[in-house]
Amino acid sequence: MRLQCPRENFGVEHPALISKGVLDWWNALDRPRDLPWRSTRDPWAILVSETMSQQTQIERIVAPYLEFLDRFPNPQAAADAGAGALVDSWSGLGYNRRAVMLHRAAVQIVDKHDGSVPADLEGLLALPGVGPYTARAVLAFAFERDVAVLDTNVGRVLARTIGRALHRSEAQELADQLTPSGTGWSWNQAVLDFGATVCRKRNPTCDVCPIVDFCDWGGVGADPAAGSAGVSTRQSTFEGSDRQGRGRIIAALRGGPVELAELDAITGWEAGSDRLERIVRQLIKDGLAVASGQTLRLPT
């Protein structure tokens, strides 16, 4: 008989049993996911990996991550290089504004923290582009603090275990309850892998799930993770979108300055369209491009 764990009965015993089940499963794996940022406790390297992985598949960032750190091994190097250099190194990752925000964070780390990434939640959240997940991930994976990260994988596990969609505050509270004392690094790695490989968005392997006896869903009926806090929603179509046009412009700028008159051919959009003008204005506002006369270029 399946043990039901509705939110109001989610007491001390159940989190401990769930945590033990996931940790035992992870520790028994022959080969946990071999990711380069798992072999370091360098806060800057962790900040880079977490920024890159936002809205991007993990497999896509391994090579760019290593190349980026080779070029910008610390906040000082990134701050000195300028935003354009970081955008140039962001090729293939998409969402290029993340590179600009990472540069701004590096500048702030240098100016306000003597070049060292802050080791407290308040200081991390004050950095440009750093939200609750990234801040907690740096604390857990760089400083091994007992804080809980809440990404789409973790949010899915929580909602399915409880059997309903969760609000942000209660999802974070549950994630905190599940974090065993003294295991902040390993627990968060374990639950992220668990959500990515067992409690998957599609075709979860409930038949081999180590905590199925504590799950109030068990793969039956509507998925309670839909619309729950932390769980990502389906992205809009990329083909023909503004995101595609922005990406094409940035890709062209990586090769050098571009005449504004060339942008219609680069994007494949109608020359002089309001859409193109709007996108160019937004790129400039976002710090991804600089206009000089009739020329567009990456920032310095």
Task: Report in angstroms the alpha-carbon separations of 206 from 7, 120, 215, 224.
Answer: 21, 37, 10, 15
Q: How far apart are CA 123 and CA 23, in angstroms?
A: 30
Q: Which two tokens stand for residue 134?
A: 């990234």
Chain mean position to CA 157: 17
In angstroms, the Cα distances linking 297 to 63, 90, 245 are 26, 15, 16
- Strand, helix or coil for residue 256: coil
CA 167 to chain centre: 19
Quickly tell me which residue has 């990996």 as its tokens: 49
Which amino acid type is present at position 126?
A: A
Active-site entry in 8, 13, 50, 170? 50
Q: Which two tokens stand for residue 282?
A: 């937004």
Query: 50 an active-site residue?
Result: yes
DSSP calls for 27-74:
HT-SS----GGGG---HHHHHHHHHHHTTS-HHHHHHHHHHHHHH--S
In contact, 199 and 160? CB cutoff 8 Å: yes
Instruction: Find how far residue 103's CA is from the centre of its chain.
Output: 16
Selection from 132, 64, 70 nearest residue 99 by Cα: 64
Q: How many CB atoms are closer than 10 A to CB 113?
A: 15
Positive or negative torsion for Cα 174, 178, 183, 187: negative
Which residues are identified as catalytic? 50
